[in-house]
DNA sequence: CAGAGTACGTACCGATCGGTAACATTGTCA
DNA sequence: TGACAATGTTACCGATCGGTACGTACTCTG
């Protein structure tokens, strides 16, 4: 890792600490919005912690609401990636893929300081359907529901849509319960419960 | 319904529109906090809608945080009452009591404009464990978990604690999903899923 | 080396936040 | 009638909110 020359900056070699103000803002906002809540964090705190200034924020983002929407779209992207990554070890086996994610979530939602799903939290923080935060959150949840339906159908469940909704309830329940119970979260039984619902659906085929 | 005499005011006969400023504030705060979110509502808006003034609020409540805690304690009280009321038709039948609440919730969480559980929402809005709103919310959830465990044990479930947590996940999932999906909420399958988990637990006895 | 364009900071805006001091008004009781 | 408690009125506090006008430093290009 040698110091790069001034005359030839390569984008890749400064990836550790983003040099662009917009990137630092994005990263800082992601962290603060997720951990502390969106309404709880003002733009002042974001720019302070990012080591930049307010005008830099408003040059890169139209408004705080737009920054929030950006954060949530980013969160959604990471979620989809992670959801896919957890099941990557089981190609063409939707049931195993689903259980892999569920088992992952059961652990993650039972760690101290867990803060749930950023998208779910956003929908709750912004109940107004007209607010971008609400909209992005809802769209992501609809996509997840659809994905679960596809998987349940693919695994040959008798009542795929119903099973998918049941699993969605368990998953969302794990998101929020993790925040209230910490290490002893009810989310620890998520895997067992998901298996019971799935088995019941596959048995009654 | 005759007009009461001035000399003998009865507490019960003015219940419709509370005359005391503190009561009006309490009722208005309950409504606004629940529907719009706690952080979204300022004390100014509360007193305006309640038709009172700010000093009246601060004569009755120490601070906004204390008013929030009061709101949540009130919410918890109503929740317990309602939870008991739904099962009141089935004395000495914990399974039927639980299913009665679950069936009630499935309908309520699938109505347009549903705003979930005020306590769950508060825990999400105030992730800081030191904040009274977080604490009251968590305490209420712990009590619910304990209640579910008792009921699952009483109905003779093989793994009562595990089943209780599974049902808690379904219930909490219904609270939050109702806000994202409205009428077509996954919460509509809550009853069917709860029954499957319960039957599985009772069968393996 | 000049000049353009980009990236950023200093300082400030009006509005609203939670909260309070001082005083006037009302209705209820003795 | 007169005391008391409850409420309203008005005006204000410092802090923070989201947002912006304007000046400055750097870098790339001619």
Q: Which of B40, B170, B187 is closest, CB to CB, to A39? A: B40
Q: How many Å does it take to go from CA B115 to C1' C6?
A: 47
Percentage of the residues of chain A whose pLDDT score is greater than 90: 88
Task: Check CB contact of A140 with chain B, cutoff 8 Å.
Answer: no
**Chain B residues with beta carbon closer than 8 angstroms to that of A126:** 37
**pLDDT at residue A200 above 80?**
yes
| B51-74 CB burial, b ≥16 within 10 A, e <16 | ebeeebbeebbeebeebbbbbbeb
Q: Does the CB of A64 sit below 7 A from strand D?
A: yes
Instruction: List for chain A the helix, strand, coil content (%; round to 5).
Output: 70, 0, 30
Distance B199 CA to D19 C1' (A): 58
Tokens read off for A53: 């200034």
Tell the residue number behind the tokens 């004395």, with chain if given: B91
The predicted structure's pLDDT at residue B204: 79
- Å between CA of B148 and C1' of D20: 55
pLDDT of residue B13: 32
| Interhelix angle B118-125/A118-125, nearest 10 degrees | 110
Cα separation of B139 and B196, whole Å?
28
Q: B-chain residues within 8 Å CB-CB of A137?
A: 180
The average pLDDT across A156-185 equals 97
Neighbours of A55 (CB within 10 A): 10
Q: Which of A168, A186, A196 sits opposite B197 (nearest CB)?
A: A196
> And the tokens for A58?
């408003």
Contact B121 A121 (CB under 8 A): no
C-beta of residue B179 within 8 angstroms of C-beta of residue B115: yes
DSSP string across B133-200? HHHHHHHHHHHHHHHHHHHHHHTT-TTHHHHHHHHHHHHHHHHHHHHHHGGG-GGGGHHHHHHHHHHH
User: Could you write out the DSSP letters of every residue in A164-187?
Assistant: HHHHHHHHHHHHHHHHHHGGG-GG
pLDDT (tens digit per residue) in A121-152: 999 999 999 999 999 999 999 999 999 999 99
| Distance separating alpha carbons of residues B183 and B173, to the nearest angstrom | 15
pLDDT tens digit sequence for A71-124: 999 999 999 999 999 999 999 999 999 999 999 999 999 999 999 999 999 999
Put simply, whether A79 touches B (Cβ < 8 Å) is no
Cβ-based burial of B203 (10 A; exposed 0-12, middle 13-18, buried ≥19): exposed
How far, in Å, CA of A91 to CA of A70, rounded? 31
Q: What would the pLDDT profile of A175-198 be if each residue is shown by its tens digit?
A: 999 999 999 999 999 999 999 999
pLDDT tens for the 205 residues of chain B, in order? 333 332 233 333 333 456 788 999 999 999 999 999 999 999 999 999 999 999 999 999 999 999 999 999 999 999 999 999 999 999 999 999 999 999 999 999 999 999 999 999 999 999 999 999 999 999 999 999 999 999 999 999 999 999 999 999 999 999 999 999 999 999 999 999 999 999 999 987 6
Among chain B residues 28 through 87, which have CB within 7 angstroms of nucleic chain D? 51-56, 59-60
- Strand C atom within 7 Å of B3 CB: no
Residue A6: per-residue pLDDT: 29
Q: Which nucleotides of D are covered by protein (CB under 7 A)?
A: 6-11, 16-22, 27-28
Q: Which residues, 6 or more positions from A46, have their beta carbon under 8 angstroms from its beta carbon?
A: A25, A28, A29, A32, A57, A67
Q: Residue A124 and residue B37: Cβ atoms within 8 Å?
A: yes
pLDDT category at A20 given cuts 50, 70, 90 is: confident
Instruction: Indicate the residue of A115, A124, A193 with minimum beta-carbon distance to B116.
Output: A124
Cα–Cα separations (whole angstroms), residue B165 to A187, B92, B99, B138, B151: 8, 22, 15, 15, 12
Q: Does the beta carbon of B39 lie under 8 angstroms from any beta carbon of chain A?
A: yes
Distance CA B46, CA B40 (A): 11
Q: Which of A121, A124, A106 is nearest to A178 (CA)?
A: A106
Q: What's the pLDDT score for residue A18?
A: 64
pLDDT at A17 over 60: no
- Pick the residue from chain A with its C-alpha nearest to B34: A127
Q: Please, what is the average pLDDT of chain A? A: 91
Q: What is the pLDDT of residue B17?
A: 54
How many Å apart are CA B154 and CA B148, to the nearest integer? 10
> Which domains, and CATH codes, for chain B?
16-61 (1.10.10.60), 75-203 (1.10.357.10)
């Amino acid at each position: 890792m040698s110091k790069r020359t001034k005359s030839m900056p390569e984008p890749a070699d400064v990836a550790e600490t983003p040099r662009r103000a917009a990137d630092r803002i994005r990263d800082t906002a992601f962290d603060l919005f997720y951990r502390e809540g969106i309404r709880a964090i003002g733009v002042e705190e974001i720019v302070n912690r990012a080591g930049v200034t307010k005008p830099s924020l408003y040059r890169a983002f139209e408004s705080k609401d737009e920054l929030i929407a950006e954060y949530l779209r980013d969160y959604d992207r990471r979620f989809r990636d992670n959801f896919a990554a957890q099941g990557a070890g089981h190609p063409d086996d939707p049931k195993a893929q689903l259980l892999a994610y569920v088992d992952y979530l059961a652990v993650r939602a039972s760690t101290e300081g867990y803060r749930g799903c950023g998208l779910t939290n956003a929908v709750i923080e912004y109940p107004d359907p007209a607010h971008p935060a609400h909209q992005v959150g809802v769209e992501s949840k609809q996509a997840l529901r659809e994905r679960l339906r596809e998987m349940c159908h693919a695994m040959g469940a008798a009542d795929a849509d119903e099973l998918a909704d049941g699993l969605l309830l368990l998953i969302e329940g794990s998101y929020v319960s993790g925040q209230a119970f910490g290490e002893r979260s009810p989310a620890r039984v998520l895997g067992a419960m998901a298996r019971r619902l799935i088995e019941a659906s596959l048995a009654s085929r």
